[in-house]
Amino acid sequence: MGGCNSSLACTFTKRFFQIYSGFGHEIKIYSSAEFPEWINESANLGSTVSLDLSPNMSHNLLAMILCFTHIGGYINYVTTYSVKNVTSDFKWSDSFYVNSGSLMVIVPGSVFPVIKGDDKIELTAARVRIHGIHLLYKTEIAQEIHEYKRSTMNVGNKRRRSCP
């Protein structure tokens, strides 16, 4: 999963998350220490990160992608994390087993609903570094389709993808 170095890798990675965002449970992906470039790295290296939600976008939220990094000092342990909707005070918690490396968790909107008027979420975790969080909106899918169509040229009756 190392870093979306090409358009194809980035599109594949995002599509993967978008497909699974409709599931009724979170998905945990254990990986190396690298995350895709589109994950917003937390400026705060602590165990709590707050994020403002885009106004009037609650109906377009597909999923939250949470990224955690093992901080060392602890080996083979269970840690707990929680996501709280600060506006409505709704809180969802889960735990995971940590041995080393990193973890990416996809939390679909069906598990952690966001409604109109919600404006802030807070992610808290124990004994791991919160690397970042990404809110995946339906509008990202539409934008990627538009960019793909724009980079596709008609050559005769054949459609051909232009090279980056």
Distance CA 53, CA 156 (A): 45
Is the overall model pTM greater than 0.85, yes or no? no
- For the stretch 58-92, pLDDT in tens is 777 788 888 888 777 667 788 888 999 888 888 88
Backbone angles phi, psi at 19, to 5 degrees: -65, -45
**Model pLDDT, residue 2:** 42
Every domain of the chain and the residues it spans: 7-153
Compute the half-sphere exposure of residue 87: CA atoms within 13 Å on the CB side of its CA: 14
Distance CA 36, CA 7 (A): 12
Distance CA 90, CA 113 (A): 9
**Model pLDDT, residue 134:** 83
Residue stretches of the chain with pLDDT short of 70:
1-24, 32-33, 38, 40-46, 73-74, 100, 139-164
**Model pLDDT, residue 46:** 62
**In this structure, are residues 112 and 40 in contact, taking their beta carbons and an 8 Å threshold?**
no
Write the class of the CATH domain 7-153.
mainly beta
